[in-house]
Structure 1
């Protein structure tokens, strides 16, 4: 069995952050998102993995390399245009051949192990999708069931439905999906939709199985979901520390991953947090649920439930929360009681 990761999307909902960084390698808890996905996939025993790439493909390749970090082999496959998920599958036909395969959207994180899902798929031979219960079906693709509990149809963002089973970006396909894709036409937005291909399978009489996940799932396509994913991954990260310096006035509470070369003075670190290498923090309160990138300079700040990338400089920001700050940005404050939400792109200079 093989796996196919789709990492060619442009991440328009994360602008201005994705103007310079591919969303699938956006750092969550100081680690590129795709590396978490590789861990999830390779835990199932899959070692042949195709990765669909588009613009900024070099960033994807730099984050994953040849796959040897996971005892896997990665094949990079270019999608020349953002023409839909089903189109991406067609681009990978040469790599996939006649193998059954796991398809995983590269901006998704999931708590659940995939081993049982794939075991059931291989045993049944039916294509299968993963679902989650959602509170607002009108925001998702939805699977509707018949009275026997089988999927009868998929509907995209329905205004009215009796189902709350949202489709997440994890699928298991056999080669019959290529025949289904060949029969569908581009949607109103000009893309070949994977949901249309699955619907074609259903209408041709094939059974499509499903598993409703019990744990959390995050589509990291928005600032809010990136911060939520960051908090979840920090909470489950292992304690880890490099060689760093702190003075007697600095207090570290809870789980903290602190990189080598960091210097902490007169500060309070409240876990879970991740602090990248060679970062200097002075007279500040950091955390909880906060990631500070490498080579940051933070002075006189209080930062919670936030994420900074590498090379950021922050000063005199007394209540920063739910903020994402891009590489090499500089943000200065000075209003002692002002609570601040900041979204800054790479290299921006902001006075908050």
Structure 2
């Protein structure tokens, strides 16, 4: 069975992290989300993959290449304009062979595990099958109404709660879906939605089933959702090895992974689940608490404390810092005595709507330079390529290329 992975979108609601990368390339447990998807497919024997790419596609293609390092075969299709899921799927028609009776479609920006895929493979039937899951709040998702295993209706982003069963965006289709897409009308949002195609199939009496999963499926809608994704993947991971050097006097508790050529100096206190990448320098007396991922080529100065955070690669955090419930982008330089406040139920305005983050510190983009003794208030978003001079307090969203003096 082939798999089509949709990886063309930007992920606007995950800015500032997606200002410089596609959402599928956001790191969770030191791997892009898309790599977790590919790994889950490969462990189920699905190794012939077609990636539909668009926004920042070069970054995706340079990272994964032909897939040989992951034990899969990857081919790419460029969706030049993001005109919806049905349009994206249609782009792959020419890469299907006659012997491909059916194929899987899934999003490259959802965190899943191998069991998630296995459940759909084992239980799919009919002309199309949707992998579904139950969710308390269904706003923003495709909602499925079913009678037993049979889908009777699928509604894209309804304004009222009609059901608590939602589509995960993972499907198994037969080849005739391409012809069906040809006759899918454009939606009021100006897109060709695969949910509309499926509803037309149902209306024409075709058999559309669904399989409910309780396995890992996480949709990072907003940038702060990465923290929960990261925590869940770290909790479930079995890949914890210590390849670097841990000096005498450092204390390691629980599931902690330390990469090659990384040095943990004496006096450090690290509690898992925590993952630290390759070529890192963790200075004496650093405290790293659970659900933290630190990328590659990162240095952290003495007396800094980090908890439930993602620190991306090539970042330098100097001494006496405090970071909690935060996401720090690539290539950041953060001065000493940096404090990122965090609190619960932070209100954040995005796309002219007010959203709530359960608990959040700061989110930064890439290539940011921060001086010493800088305080950042909870919920602040710092876009890429900003400069913040010493002694400043940041309590708002900073657009890209900002200079705070």
Q: TM-score, normalised by structure 1?
A: 0.92
Contact 1:7–1:54, Cα closer than 8 Å, also in 2: yes
Question: Which stretch has the larger CA shift, 196-205 or 223-232?
Answer: 223-232
Residue correspondence of structure 1 range 1-352 to structure 2 within 5 A = 1-98=1-98, 99=100, 100-111=102-113, 112-121=115-124, 124-146=125-147, 150-237=150-237, 238-244=239-245, 246-265=246-265, 266-282=267-283, 283-299=285-301, 300-316=303-319, 318-332=321-335, 334=337, 339=342, 341-350=361-370, 351-352=374-375
Shift of 1:326: 0.6
Shift of 1:317: 5.4
Kindly report structure 1 stretches of 4+ aligned residues shifted beyond 4 Å: 335-340
Contact 2:341–2:362, Cα closer than 8 Å, also in 1: no
Unmatched 5+ stretches in structure 2? 343-359, 376-405
Shift of 1:338: 5.2
The 1:211/1:278 distance shift into structure 2, 3 A limit, reads same
Aligned length: 348
Contact 2:4–2:49, Cα closer than 8 Å, also in 1: yes
Shift of 1:60: 1.2
Contact 2:112–2:218, Cα closer than 8 Å, also in 1: yes
| CA distance in structure 1 between the partners assigned to 2:141 and 2:254 by the alignment | 37
Cα distance per residue 1:221-274 (max 9 Å; x no partner): 322321111112212222112232x33331111111111221222211111111
Question: Which stretch has the larger CA shift, 50-59 or 76-85?
Answer: 50-59
Question: Which stretch has the larger CA shift, 312-321 or 204-213?
Answer: 312-321
| CA distance in structure 2 between the partners assigned to 1:101 and 1:336 by the alignment | 49
Contact 1:107–1:221, Cα closer than 8 Å, also in 2: no
Shift of 1:337: 10
Contact 1:145–1:163, Cα closer than 8 Å, also in 2: no
Shift of 1:188: 2.1
Structure 1 residue matching 2:224: 3-state secondary structure:
helix
Contact 2:224–2:327, Cα closer than 8 Å, also in 1: no
The 1:348/1:70 distance shift into structure 2, 3 A limit, reads closer
Unmatched 5+ stretches in structure 1? none
| CA distance in structure 1 between the partners assigned to 2:126 and 2:29 by the alignment | 37
Contact 1:318–1:338, Cα closer than 8 Å, also in 2: no
Shift of 1:97: 4.3
| CA distance in structure 2 between the partners assigned to 1:70 and 1:326 by the alignment | 25
| CA distance in structure 1 between the partners assigned to 2:339 and 2:212 by the alignment | 47
RMSD: 2.0
Structure 2 residue matching 1:221: 3-state secondary structure:
coil
Task: Return the structure number with greater helix share.
Answer: 1
Q: TM-score, normalised by structure 2?
A: 0.81
